[in-house]
Structure 1
Amino acid sequence: MSAPTATRPRGRHALTLSCLQALGGVNPAIVIALGGLAGQQLASRPDLATVPVSIYSLGLAFGTIPAALVMKRLGRRTGYLIGTLFGIAAGLVAAYGIFSQAFLIFCLGTLCSGLYAAYVQSYRFAAADAADPAYRTRAISWVMVGGLFGAIIAAQAIILTRNIWPAIPYAASFMAQASIALLAVPLVLSLRTPPTSVREEAVKGGRPLKEIARSPRFVIAVLAGVISYGLMNFIMTATPLAMIGCGHSLQDATLGIQWHILAMYGPSFFTGHIIERFGKIPVTTFGLILIGLAATVALAGVSVSHFWLALVLLGMGWNFGFIGATSMVTDCYRPEEKNRVQALNDFLVFGCVAVASFSSGHVLATQGWNSVNVLVYPFLAFVLLSLLWLWSHDRRARATA
């Protein structure tokens, strides 16, 4: 018997979340593409150039738990409206920071961008929670498809606005960021969150969070999410500055980030089907291997084609690794435990992403582009061995059963 229409990943709920993901995806794309370049012209020292992008990651990390608490108390729709207001403020404050040549104000704007992203990141869980278990992975993928359109919108916004005010480059792009966040308001107001299930209303509390956090499956799922997102961010944050440093143009760097973000979200059209066919652990493993290949290509040369190919592989690796890891997390909690477990997962993932982002600029400035890529390998090896152990454990459990 087919699943009810309301729970299918292609239903109205998932479609609305996908559109919100498209608009919300513009926010990080603009910050990542221009944050380091704007920081370079505002900061007092070269090694501070990527701090605005790192502040974005910090806001995302520290915003996840408050966002979860707000949504638990007030509902997802009200929470998403609050998040959208952060998005509008982010673009306006960042643009004002550039106008006034104030590095700290610009960083405050990227902090607001991170707080907005903390709500955007939960769209994937909102889709999974509304779908039947058999459709959860596909629901996550379909929502992530929205990020593909976010990348296109962001790239075009940058290209169309970058020369509006030549004396103050990048300010108009952040004004566009605020305008695009404003467009999300009517979509949020139209969102109809599915009602709480009878089981979720009947069961209070669930297991202690410490018990869930000690589960090997949860630990490895979080580890896979941390490494796939953290390493992607570590390389991506440094790439625009590395390209400029190697003599390439701003347009080449911007287009490279566009190709990267397209590669991040484009596979989402079929990632869910691939996971259903081959399994969550193999697909997550494949994603991490692609990230390793991206680092290898980056080490092979510094031409535009090397940078672009590395960014494409990096984006694809993130897609398979992060969606696979997210799907693994959804297997670790019961309905009554979802808010706490999702918040813990995102706090751990994006907290580590913030550390990676802060480290990226420092490593690039002090040790160079090659060191940024070499540091990827030991982290990948550790998580790949962990996934291999979990896959072997699951095979033995199935054989015993």
Structure 2
Amino acid sequence: MTQNPPEELPRFPQPRSCPFDPPSAYAELRERAPIARVTLPSGNTAWLITGYEHARQFLADARTTADRSLPAYPAVLPRQPVTKAQAKGLLTWMDPPEHTEHRRMVVNEFTTRRLQALQPRIQEIIDGCVDRLLAGDRPVDLVEAFALPVPSLVICELLGVRYDDRDLFGKYTIAILNRDTSAEDRVAAWRQLRVYLGDLVTDKVRHPGEDLLSRLVQKYQEAGTFDHELMIGLSMALLVAGHETTANMIALGAIALLDNPEQREQLLADPARAPQVVEELLRFFSIADTSTSRVTTEDVEIGDVVIPAGEGVIVLNSLANRDENAFPKPQELDFGREDRHHIAFGYGIHQCLGQNLARLELQLVFTTLFSRIPDLRLTVPSAELSYKEDATFYGVYAVPVTW
């Protein structure tokens, strides 16, 4: 394959013309070359994979690394340099055999049995947030008042965060995730949260409870591999993976349901359709569409393209999940779609660990929110909202609603 000089390569990322669709330039690029080199904002180049089958093939290939500290890692947004030591415990940075060992420790915490036991408490959290919505002023920002608090409280419940500390915990996470936070303040909040989680780990060692973090501490102690810094990293990984992504999906999913009243009414008439609705929303939005980026450790042949060792590769989930060879009429939001083979949660060994928890939260959120506030409506058209094109995970900054 002939390689164009960097100045002639397509640029990545590119702006959207519609908030609900990936940039049209990507689809055009996929038609010409589903595996192509692009230029990043840093001036570095990377490979972009946009086809569904090619994406799955690459993500299942062991000749890659997820180590984000490597210079070749295709970072799209500016980032603070992070060392291996600072990334300790972050599963998304790990490769086998280290990744295999730690994922095995955590994966049993997200079994169907565990989630069934947690479901009543998640429902209580959602109901409490809806209660506060109904008791508050109108209009209200659904993101601030509902989409962010629900997953934040759920992750607090999972990790065993003390009730009195939840406002402090929320303050740190909001500072980390807010686009208006300066780089300096974001780093400070990250460090403060790590200090807090370090104290929380110490508390679980001394006074174990029935929460996930206590169980992980016990597992590692019994295995003789307990490491305080590792536990902080695992906690951070669970927090970030289970907080911002779910919050974004709650907000975007609510907009989609508000914009599709007939399909929303079908969901309310038959709540058993919630899993099917959630799967289609996950496929349609694919909010973590660059989280599956990798660096090749050897030459990797995908289709008729050989990606050399040491190259950064971005697997664009949003385009793979809009591939007409994998999904009939992929540009349509179809809640009657019956397949679940999208890769919104990634694919291969790094497939999202908490995906079933996210599914459960989303199913309960949408059935509860719209059954309890059936006349919920946007106060401005969805196309006029401010969307997160400048963030790692796609979403929306505010969703003003009333009823």
TM-score range, shorter chain: 0.3 to 0.5
Instruction: Return the TM-score normalized by structure 2.
Output: 0.32
TM-score (norm 1): 0.32
Higher alpha-carbon Rg: 2
